[in-house]
Amino acid sequence: MSPNPSEGSVFKRILRLPATRAPDDDGCWVYSAGRVLIDLSRAHELSVPGGALRLEGGELPFRVLVMTGADRRVHAFRNHCSHQGRRLDPIEGGRGVCCCSWRHSTYDLVGQVRSGPATGPLTVCPVQRIDGRLVVTLQCRTFVRSAAQALDSQPLRFFV
Ligand code: FES
């Protein structure tokens, strides 16, 4: 069941805890060379609009939220609200994405801000479906640009 920010746990939001969990089957995904590969047969969370996976840790260069939208497409975002970097959850039914914080910003399925104090769009990661697998590419233009600014515009080579 997808989280509903308007009915979500006040306790969780005060503590800034996301409703989206790590995958039930942690072996459903692997990360390699700038890409996340997800075996759809093992990722039941993505079978319904509003279902999502929270991927983080290991070799991943940043946290990733993968979700099925109301448009029945799978979307992936850097899991980092542009306000203060809190984690994200799908809006009920997959109509967009919202921040898990008390002041939850909301975004549409292409990462544009819809409400709240967010200062810019989400970083969107391209998703391809290939033979029962999803390939999420972490070559995210927004992330590279903001990271480059943080490092005084030095060239970055995070992803090959
Ligand atoms: S960190 Fe997302 S609204 Fe503040």
> How sure is the predictor about 101, in pLDDT bands with cuts at 50, 70 and 90?
confident
Domains and CATH numbers, the chain: 10-150 (2.102.10.10)
pLDDT of residue 9: 65
- Which of the pair, 83 or 7, is modelled with greater confidence? 83
Is the CB–ligand 1 distance for residue 103 below 6 Å?
yes
Closest C-alpha to 77, from 146, 24, 123: 123
pLDDT of residue 150: 45
pLDDT of residue 120: 97
pLDDT of residue 103: 74
DSSP-assigned letters across all residues of the chain = ----TTTS-HHHHHTT--SPPSPSSGGGEEEETTEEEEEGGG-GGGGSTT-EEEE-STT-SS-EEEEE-TTS-EEEEES--TTT---EEEPGGGS-EEESSTT--EE-TTS-EEESS--SPPPEE-EEEETTEEEEE---HHHHHHHHHHTTT-------
pLDDT of residue 78: 97
pLDDT of residue 160: 30
Is the CB–ligand 1 distance for residue 80 below 6 Å?
no
| Distance from residue 111's CA to the centre of ligand 1 (Å) | 14
| Distance from residue 21's CA to the centre of ligand 1 (Å) | 19
What does the block give as tokens for 13?
Answer: 């939001």
| Distance from residue 85's CA to the centre of ligand 1 (Å) | 6
| Distance from residue 113's CA to the centre of ligand 1 (Å) | 11
Is the CB–ligand 1 distance for residue 84 below 6 Å?
yes
pLDDT of residue 153: 39
| Distance from residue 129's CA to the centre of ligand 1 (Å) | 31
Residue appearing with tokens 């099925």: 68
- What percent of the chain stands above pLDDT 70? 77
pTM for the predicted model, two decimal places? 0.81
- Which of the pair, 159 or 100, is modelled with greater confidence? 100
> How sure is the predictor about 108, in pLDDT bands with cuts at 50, 70 and 90?
very high
C-alpha distances out from residue 47 to 2, 6, 93, 149, Å = 11, 23, 12, 38
- Phi–psi pair at 47, nearest 5 degrees: -80, -10
Q: Please give the number of the atom of ligand 1 that sits closest to the Cα of 86.
A: 1
Q: Select from 99, 106, 107, 122 the residue to mutate for testing ligand 1; criterion: most ligand atoms less than 8 Å from CB.
A: 99
